[in-house]
Amino acid sequence: MVDSVTPKIPVAAPVASASQGYWRGVGARLVRDPGGVVVGVIILLLLMLALFGPWLIAKDPYQTSMFLRLKPIGTEGFPLGSDELGRDMLSRLILGTRLSLFMGIVPVVFAFFIGGAIGIVAGYAGGRTNTLIMRTVDIFYAFPSVLLAIALSGAMGAGIGNALLSLTLVFVPQVARIAESVTAQVRHMDYIDAARATGASAFTIIRVQVLGNVLGPIFVFSTGLISVCMILASGLSFLGLGVRPPEPEWGLMLNTLRTAIYIQPWVAALPGMMIFITSISFNILADRLRAAMAIKE
Amino acid sequence: MQPFINVDIGGPAQPLLRVNQLVKHFHLGARKGNEVVQAVDNVSFEVHKGETLGVVGESGCGKSTTARVLMQLLAQDSGELVFDGEAVGSSRLPLKAYRRQVQMVFQDSYASLNPRLTMEESIAFGQQVHGISRNEANEYARYLLAHVGLDPARFAHRYPHALSGGQRQRVNIARALAMKPRMVILDEAVSALDKSVEAQVLQLLQELKRTLNLTYVFISHDLHVVRWLSDRILVMYLGEVVEIGPSEALFTASAHPYTRALLSSMPSMDPANRTLVSPLSGDPPSPISPPAGCRFHTRCPHAKAVCSEVKPALQYVGEGHQSACLMAQPDSVYHQAISLQEVSHVA
C-alpha cells in the first residue's frame, strides 16, 4: 500500500543534523550553572571522603583519652579539637561521612524505586485501582515523618538495618504521591491515547511513553529528600535507635556533644555543620536539576 | 518491507464500518448527584469504503466522544462496531487487530507527540508494538516522514518542540500511517492550524487518501472544509444523529432545521450575503437532561407541540439522505414544507 508510492524526498541514510540527546542537554545546562557546579563539587568531595575515609585519617577515631577531652579547634595534634571522650574530631568527622551518607541516601534510593513504581502504576491505572493504592498510601502519609520514623524504628528495635527500613517506609508514600500526580497528568495527554490506539500493552506504554516524562520530576523530588533523610537518620541515632556508639555518625556525634555546647561550642557544632552542608548541597542540587531538566513546552 | 497488510475482506459494497446503536454515557458520581451525561445516545451510521465521512455539530454534541469510541479509546456502554463484516472485539477481529486497521489523528498536534521522543521514535513505536524490529520500524518512519513532506535527514531526530504546528501534524499523520490503516479518524485534525498551513495539510490528506486507498472519518466544526473534503456528511446534535446524507444534498437540500441553522451560520465569501441575524440563539441544552421528544425542539423555529412528545427517527428524505425531523419527513403525518430560502446563499 504505502510502498507503492515514490517518496517525494529521497530517504537520506546519514543523519546530518541530529539534535543532541535529552540527558546530554541536561548535563550541559548543569555545567553552565555556577551554583550547580559548586554543589556538585561539594557532593563529589563528600562521596570521596565516604569512599576513601579510612585511608585519609591520621589518628585512631576510637582512641579515647581522659586527659585530652574537649580540646578546642587548633590544638596540637587535634586540628578540629577532641570530643567528650578525647577522640580526634577530624578523624571521626571524616569516618562518619560514610555512615551518614549511607543512612541518608540508601532509604531514598529504595523509596525512589518502590514509591515510584507504586505511584506510576496508580497514576496510570486511574479509577478504582488508583483510589485503592493511594488511600492505602495516605494512611502512612497521615503521620508526621519524624514520628513515623521513630515509631517504626522503635517498634522494630534499634539497629542500622531497622533504621534504614523505617526511613524507607517513611519516604515511600511521599515519592508515590509525586509519582502518582505526574503520571496522572501524563496519562491524559493525547500521545498516550495515540499509543493505546496502536494496541500496545499498558506495560509497553509505561516503559516507552510514560517513564521518560515522569522519572525526571520523581528523581528531582527524591534528591531533595536526601537532606531530610540525613536529618531524620541523625535524629534516630540521637535517640539511640539508629547507629550505636562508638561508631562515628554525625547525628550521633551531635547528640553526645550537645552537653558540651557551653564548654566547646565550636567543636560541638561541627557535626551539625557537616549535616547542614551536606543537606543544603543536595537541596540545591535538586533545585538546579529541576531547572536544568525543564523542557520547553 | 511489508510487515503486515490490512486487506479488504468483504468487497467494495460492504460498509467498512457499521456503527450500531452506539451509546456512551458518562456518570458524574455521587458528589455531583449521580447525574449522567448522555454524550452519545443511540448513534447508528455506516462508513463506506473509500469515502470521507464528515462529522459536524456544535462543540459538546458528542463528536469527539464518538471518535474515541470508534477508536476504542473509550468503551461503549452498549451498541456494536462492525468492521468490514466482523464485530470489533469478537474472536475473528480482536481489539489489537482492529486497532491496526483504524488510526486516529488528534487536534492538538503538540499534546499528541511525546516530548521525550524524537519524531522517528514516535512514528516507529506502533510498528515495534506489532513485532517489527527497531531498525526496520525506524527505516519505515523515515520513509513516512519523506512521504508526508518532511525531509527525514532534518526531522527524524528532532523533538516536538523544534517543529511548527503544521510540521507536527504531518508527523502525527505519518504516525497514523505507520500502522498501514484502512480507516483514519481525523478529530479536528486541521482545526488548530493556520489557514495556509491547513490548506497544505488538507491537500496532503487528499493525496494520501487517493494513493493509499484510505477511508476518512473527518470531524470538524469548519463547514467549508467539511464540504470540500467530504463525500457524505453526518450532523450531530446533543449526542444524536439528526441528519446524514451526500455532501451536496446536505448543503443544497438539507431537511433538518438544525442543519439549516448550522449552514446559515457559515460565514459567506460574499459580503453582500453576510449573515445578519444569528440563526440559533442560546446554548444547546445540557446533555445531562436533554429535552424530551426531539432534542432540538427547544431551539427550533418550526417546532410544534408534537415535537416535545415524539422522538423522531432517522428516515429517508432523498437518495441516501436521512433526516430525523418530524416536519420534514414526507410520509410523516406532521409533514409540512419548510422553506428552503434560508440556505439559498450557500447553494
CA distances B206 to A129, B50, B106, B217, Å, are: 44, 11, 17, 13
Residues of chain B in contact with residue A10, where contact means CB-CB under 8 angstroms, are 146
Of A1, A12, A17, the CB nearest to B212: A1
Residues of chain B in contact with residue A3, where contact means CB-CB under 8 angstroms, are 1-2
Instruction: Report the candidate in B166, B109, B117, B120 with the shortest Cα–Cα distance to residue B146.
Output: B120
Of A5, A199, A201, the CB nearest to B147: A5
pLDDT under 70: residue ranges of chain B: 1-6, 274-278, 329-347
The overall pTM is greater than 0.95: no
The number of C-beta contacts closer than 8 angstroms across A and B is: 122
Which of A191, A193, A293 to probe by mutation at the B interface, max B CB count within 10 Å? A191
pLDDT at A81 over 80: no
- Identify the weakest region by mean pLDDT among A232-246, A283-297, B40-54: A283-297
Rounded to the nearest angstrom, the minimum Cα separation between A22 and chain B is: 8
Q: How many CB atoms lie within 10 A of CB A297?
A: 6
Which of A131, A193, A198 to probe by mutation at the B interface, max B CB count within 10 Å? A198
Which residues have a Cβ under 8 Å from the Cβ of B346 and sit 6 or more positions away? B251, B252, B263, B264, B266, B268
DSSP line for B269-314: SSGGG---S-SS-SPPPPTTSPPSSSTTGGG-TT--GGGGTSPPPP
**CATH label of the domain that carries residue A280:** 1.10.3720.10
Judge whether A62 lies within some domain: no
3-state SS class at A44: helix
Question: Which domain, by its residues, includes A282?
Answer: 23-55+79-293
Of B97, B106, B129, the CB nearest to A204: B129
Judge whether A16 lies within some domain: no
CA angle, B98 then B107 then B227, to 5°: 90
CA angle, A121 then A123 then A128, to 5°: 90
ipTM for the complex shown: 0.83
Judge whether A196 lies within some domain: yes
State whether A8 and B149 contact (CB < 8 Å): yes
pLDDT digits (tens, 9 = 90+) for B122-133: 999 999 998 899
Domain ranges of chain B: 17-230, 253-343
Judge whether A261 lies within some domain: yes
Q: Which three cell numbers stand for residue B14?
A: 460492504
Judge whether A12 lies within some domain: no
CA distance A235 to A103: 11
DSSP line for A263-283: T-HHHHHHHHHHHHHHHHHHH
Q: What is the DSSP letter of A4?
A: G
Of B1, B68, B147, the CB nearest to A7: B147
CA B14 to chain centre: 20
CA distances A258 to A112, A244, A272, Å, are: 33, 17, 10
Q: Which helix (H) or strand (E) holds A103?
A: helix A89-125
Q: Give the chain A residue nearest B100 (alpha carbons).
A: A198
pLDDT digits (tens, 9 = 90+) for B48-86: 999 999 999 888 888 889 999 999 998 899 999 999 888
Task: Count the domains in chain A.
Answer: 1
Mean pLDDT in residue range A85-108: 86
Domain B17-230, architecture per CATH: 3-Layer(aba) Sandwich (3.40)
pLDDT digits (tens, 9 = 90+) for A197-222: 998 899 999 999 999 889 888 988 89
